[in-house]
């Protein structure tokens, strides 16, 4: 259960609006990008700190390397697709409503991964009801 503070409103039910943040990080140490536990923990921590509600997470460790992590959110979804051999990772965070901040989640992940190059793009989706 979430506690709302004075002046804070819960999201409207059925609001058809959100932000979709797409990111590419390069120059990340290969050992981080091939560590499924680190990537799962990092994604979950970033999402929680950004106000998202993580319902479940799953992952796939690829051979010889690489990891995909998917998070199902009350607000929508998030994913990480890593390429250790390139020192690169794709990050995708989509949240509906105004409670969760997908840009903050991506920023926190960037800080945890420490890339030398970070590119992000935010897409406004849907339309505000107000």
Residue 4 is predicted with a pLDDT of 36
Residue 128 is predicted with a pLDDT of 65
Residue 85 structure tokens = 């051999």
| Mean pLDDT, residues 56-81 | 98
pLDDT tens readout for residues 7-53: 444 445 567 899 999 999 999 999 999 999 999 999 999 999 999 99
Q: Percent of the chain beyond pLDDT 90?
A: 84
With the C-alpha atoms ordered 47, 52, 53, 57, is the resulting torsion angle positive or negative?
negative
Residue 3 is predicted with a pLDDT of 38
- List the domains of the chain with CATH numbers: 17-125 (3.60.90.10)
CA 90 to chain centre: 10
Residue 123 structure tokens = 């897409």
Q: Annotated catalytic residue: which of 81, 82, 107, 116? A: 81
| Mean pLDDT, residues 54-69 | 98
| Mean pLDDT, residues 70-81 | 97
Q: What is the CA radius of gyration of the chain?
A: 15
Residue 21 is predicted with a pLDDT of 98
Whether residue 81 lies in the annotated active site:
yes
Q: Annotated catalytic residue: which of 20, 36, 82, 96? A: 96
């Amino acid at each position: 259960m979430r506690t709302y503070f004075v002046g804070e409103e819960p999201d409207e039910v059925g609001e058809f609006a959100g932000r979709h943040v797409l990111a590419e990080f390069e120059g990340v140490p290969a050992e981080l990008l091939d560590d499924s536990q680190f990537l799962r923990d990092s994604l979950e921590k970033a999402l929680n700190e950004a106000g998202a509600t993580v319902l479940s997470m799953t992952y796939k460790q690829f051979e010889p390397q690489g990891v995909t992590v998917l998070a199902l959110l009350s607000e929508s979804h998030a994913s990480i697709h890593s390429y250790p051999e390139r020192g690169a990772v794709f990050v995708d965070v989509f949240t509906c409503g105004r409670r969760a901040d997908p840009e903050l989640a991506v920023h926190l992940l960037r800080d945890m991964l420490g890339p030398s190059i970070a590119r992000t793009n935010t897409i406004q989706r849907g339309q505000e009801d107000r």
